[in-house]
């Protein structure tokens, strides 16, 4: 019963992490314009994501421009895109694999050992998905920090962490935690030792 509870808890956490990865990838607020200079303009907010850059006016109007050329983007943005998409696809595969291995599912119920193995495999794929998301967000965040503290970067061109980056970190943590719980839900095999036979007496 405890093993089933770990499975359900791990699957729910990993699934929420997968949803968070999709939301983080779609959001345009990966980095937000930093008002660190002397001339502070609060009438608009400038932010960029993996797919577009947006400007939000104080009146509520938002204008977004999709990045035109893929080859014109920097290597960090291209790698972050690829890792986030890979993490989402791996999470989708992990959902199907882990669902087959869940104890309350009727699929493969005649082979209990193979069913538990499927749940563990799903947990491992969730772990890889969470690692891909974590590496992508950490890499992108490190690039923001380097550009912010680079003395060659103009003050009016500096950015800070956006909401999508924090969402990605939370999603990666949930995927890692959920995958670990799925891997730990497999009960250990109990080794049975042969009972020694009674001594023969003539």
9-58 pLDDT tens trace = 989 999 999 999 999 999 988 988 876 555 555 567 888 888 888 888 77
- How many degrees, rounded to 5, is the angle at CA 42 between CA 44 and CA 37? 110
Cβ-contact 181, 149 below 8 angstroms: no
Residue 53 lies in a domain: no
Residue 38 lies in a domain: no
The answer, yes or no, to whether residue 192 has pLDDT greater than 50, is: no
56-113 pLDDT tens trace = 877 778 888 888 777 777 888 889 999 999 999 999 999 999 888 877 666 666 666 7
Residue 160 lies in a domain: yes
Residue 173 lies in a domain: yes
Give all strands of the β-sheet with 159-161 in edge-to-edge order. 62-66, 52-57, 44-48, 31-33, 159-161
pTM recorded for the entire structure: 0.81
Residue 175 lies in a domain: yes
Residue 155 lies in a domain: yes
Residue 51 lies in a domain: no
Q: What is the pLDDT of residue 126?
A: 94
Q: What is the pLDDT of residue 17?
A: 95
Determine the Cα–Cα distance for residues 97 and 115; give it in Å rounded to an integer.
10
123-152 pLDDT tens trace = 999 999 999 999 999 999 999 888 888 777
Give me the CATH number covering residue 121: 1.20.140.150
Residue 197 lies in a domain: no
Structural domain count of the chain:
1
Q: Which residue range(s) make up the domain with 7? A: 2-29+71-184
């Amino acid at each position: 019963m405890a093993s089933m509870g770990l499975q359900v808890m791990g699957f729910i956490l990993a699934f929420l992490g997968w949803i968070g990865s999709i939301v983080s990838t779609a959001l345009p607020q990966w980095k937000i314009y930093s008002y660190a200079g002397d001339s502070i303009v609060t009438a608009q907010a400038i932010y960029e994501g993996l797919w577009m850059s947006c400007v939000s006016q104080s009146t509520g109007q938002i204008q977004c421009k999709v990045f035109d050329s893929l080859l014109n983007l920097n290597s960090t943005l291209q790698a972050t895109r690829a890792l986030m998409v890979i993490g989402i696809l791996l999470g989708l595969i992990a959902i199907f694999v882990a669902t087959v291995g869940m104890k309350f599912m009727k699929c493969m119920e005649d082979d209990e050992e193979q069913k538990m193995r499927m749940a563990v495999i799903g947990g491992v794929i969730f772990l890889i998905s969470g690692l891909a998301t974590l590496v992508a967000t950490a890499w992108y965040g490190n690039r923001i920090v380097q550009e912010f503290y680079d003395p060659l970067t103009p003050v009016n061109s500096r950015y800070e962490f956006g909401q999508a980056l924090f969402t990605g970190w939370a999603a990666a943590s949930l995927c890692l935690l959920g995958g670990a719980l799925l891997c730990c839900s497999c009960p250990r095999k109990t080794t049975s030792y042969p009972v020694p036979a009674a001594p023969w007496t003539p």
